[in-house]
A = this chain, B = another copy of it.
Amino acid sequence: MRAGPSQEEVRQHNLGALLRHVHHEGPTSRAVLAAGLGLNRSTILGLAGDLAAAGLVREEAPQETGRAGRPSLVVRPEPARAHVLAMDVGVERLSAALVGLGGAFLDRREHRWPAGQPQDPARVADLLAGFARDLLARRPPGGTWVGAAAAVRGLVRHPDGLVGLTPNTGWKDVDLAGALTDRLRRHLPDLPDLPVLVANEANLGALAEHRRGVGRGSRNLVYLHGEIGIGAGVISAGELLRGARGYAGEIGHLTVNPHRGRPCGCGARGCLEAEAGERALLEAAGRDGTGAEAVRSVVAAADLGDVTARAALHRVGDWLGIGIANLANLLDPDLVVLGGTLRDVYLGSAAQVRSRINTNALAAVREGLRLRVGALGDDTVLIGAAELAFADLLARPLETLARLSGR
């Protein structure tokens, strides 16, 4: 706040708050907005009017409520007016989507490759840039492109987005953000020159479940993402916890079995992902192959009574429980969300996971802790990337739109 915000800054802030509300919560009546934002109704009227004039929202009569009296108009986000490019460099697939204001997927592209096969960063950037060109060429008429973000599985430095390391695919110090920004600039010379943001997949998953999934209403949650390795995204007091350089959340490399542990791709021994990751599960179940489908087949086999599959899930659930107990003792979240393949692993080993948490987390910590599988399915990370890409517009809607619509 420093020298104190000006009237105009307060207005921009309130415009952002209103747009964020309808972007995340969907169509909302002016009366509910006034209560939710702590503003009076005439202020809401003015703010909604300004956003409607810019085309970002539409005001309309609510559906018939059957109640007497003049109904409060509903403010609805306009998906076609502003959209972002969300990209995800997954272990098994490369995805890109055009996502409209309000969170609707307007269009999408996907490329699958064999799980775990190392991918050349330049080829990844080429493929994503191709998707981007294609998606943006078909974007809604009258719409403005307001942001772009990509998720990677690895250590991503904040705020510049340098990919320091992807332990399971071997990238080291890769400037994917720069590579994508350059390609989009060349491919799309008529569009605004937008920097592509890059972030860690579990952080984006945490953002997605916090804003749109099972974590709505929680201000202290951890999202665990399984996909070969295990990553965590931590929301603390409503904000993403980044750490000093952006590397916070590397729960996959928590040492849980230091002396007898399995070797991990990071060079250490007994890391959580070496004990509870996909490879550990599949090996314990005596399966070849990798990837989500292989994990699901173990869970399905265990359901049908396969003893080896059950024992493998039991073993992995035990380690997963220790990992969750550790993060609970250290972070005291009220919610842990399991996503990616950990969703399936947890559904197949919930009793074991909970039993370990009961033993290894402090009573006061575990008593208030809920465990839930993610609500957003395979698009969780992509949804989080869209949220990150919308951040500028949602912080300063009219300024951002004016700047980007100019071209």
Contacts and interface: CB of A to CB of B under 8 A. Distances in A.
Interface of A: 1-5, 7, 10, 13-14, 17, 37-40, 43, 155, 157, 164-165, 218-220, 232, 236-237, 239, 241-251, 253-260, 266-268, 322, 325-327, 329-334, 359-365, 368
A250 B330 contact: yes
B244 A334 contact: yes
B334 A38 contact: no
A277 to B, nearest CB: 15
Best-buried of A246, A251, A333, A360 by chain B (most CB within 10 Å): A360
A37 B236 CA distance: 27
Given A1-B13, A2-B39, A322-B258, A249 B330 contact: yes
A98 B232 CA distance: 43
B364 A38 contact: no
B14 A5 contact: no
A398 to B, nearest CB: 16
B4 A330 contact: no
Contact of A362 (B165, B256, B333): B165
A268 B321 CA distance: 13
Contacts of A359: 267-268
Given A251-B330, A327-B330, A364 B257 contact: no
The 10 closest A-B pairs by CB, nearest first: A243-B332, A4-B10, A244-B334, A220-B244, A247-B332, A248-B332, A250-B329, A2-B38, A164-B364, A253-B329
A245 to B, nearest CB: 6
Nearest to A326: B254
Contact of A333 (B243, B250, B360): B243
Given A5-B5, A10-B1, A329-B251, A368 B245 contact: yes
Best-buried of A266, A325, A331 by chain B (most CB within 10 Å): A331
7 contacts: A218-B244, A236-B241, A244-B332, A244-B334, A253-B362, A254-B329, A254-B330
A331 B241 contact: yes
Contacts of A246: 332
Nearest to A220: B244
A62 to B, nearest CB: 25
A243 B255 contact: no
A327 B253 CA distance: 10
B249 A364 contact: no
B331 A362 contact: no
A394 B129 CA distance: 51
Given A268-B360, A326-B255, A250 B365 contact: yes
A299 to B, nearest CB: 24
Contacts of A325: 255
Contacts of A165: 362-364
A14 B3 CA distance: 7
A362 B219 CA distance: 28
A132 to B, nearest CB: 28
Contacts of A14: 3-4
A275 to B, nearest CB: 10
Nearest to A243: B332
A329 B254 CA distance: 7
A242 to B, nearest CB: 7
Contact of A3 (B39, B242, B250, B256): B39
B219 A368 contact: no
A219 to B, nearest CB: 7
A256 B253 contact: no
Best-buried of A2, A5, A38, A255 by chain B (most CB within 10 Å): A255
